[in-house]
Structure 1
Amino acid sequence: MSQPRITLARGDITKQDVDAIVNAANSSLLGGGGVDGAIHRAGGPEILEACRALRASHYGRGLSTGQAVATTAGRLPARWVIHTVGPVYSRDEDRSALLAACHTNSLEVADTLGATTVAFPAISTGIFGWPIADAARIAVATVSAATTAVEEVRFVLFDDSAYETFVQATQQ
Structure 2
Amino acid sequence: MIERIECVQGDIARQCDIDTVVNAANAQLRSGGGVAGALHRAAGPGLAEECRPLAPIRPGEAVITGAHGLPNRHVIHCLGPVYGVDEPADELLAACYRNALELAERHGIRSIAFPALSAGAFGYPPAEAARIALSTVVSTLPRCPGIERVRFVLFDATSRDLHQRTLATLESGTASQRE
TM-score by length of 2: 0.88
Aligned to 2:13: 14
Larger helix fraction of residues: 2
Say if 2:82 and 2:123, in contact at 8 Å, map to a contact too.
yes
After the TM superposition, which residues 129-148 of structure 1 pair with which residues of structure 2 at under 5 Å, given as runs? 129-146=123-140, 147-148=143-144
Paired residues for 1:6-155 under 5 Å? 6-17=5-16, 18-55=18-55, 62-90=56-84, 94-146=88-140, 147-148=143-144, 149-155=146-152
Change in CA separation of 1:4 and 1:75 when aligned onto 2, cut-off 3 Å: farther
Q: Size of the alignment, in residue pairs?
A: 165
Calculate percent identity across the aligned residue pairs: 48
Q: Counterpart amino acid of 2:113? A: A
What do residues 143-169 of structure 1 show as CA deviations (whole Å, max 9, x unaligned)? 001121211110000101100100111
TM (norm. structure 1) is 0.91
- Which runs of 5 or more residues in structure 2 are unaligned? 170-179
Greater relative contact order (Cα < 8 A, sep 6+): 1
Note the C-alpha offset of 1:40: 0.3
Could you list the structure 1 runs, at least 4 aligned residues long, displaced by more than 4 angstroms after superposition.
91-94
Residue 113 (structure 1) shift: 1.4
Q: Is the 8 A contact 2:59 2:86 kept in 1?
A: no
Using the TM superposition, give the Cα deviation of residue 93 of structure 1 relative to its aligned residue in structure 2, in angstroms: 5.2
Number of the residue aligned with 1:58: none
Runs of 5+ consecutive residues of structure 1 not aligned to the other structure:
56-61
- The root-mean-square deviation of aligned C-alpha atoms, in Å, is 1.7
- Asked whether the equivalents of residues 4 and 151 of structure 1 are also in contact (C-alpha less than 8 Å), the reply is no
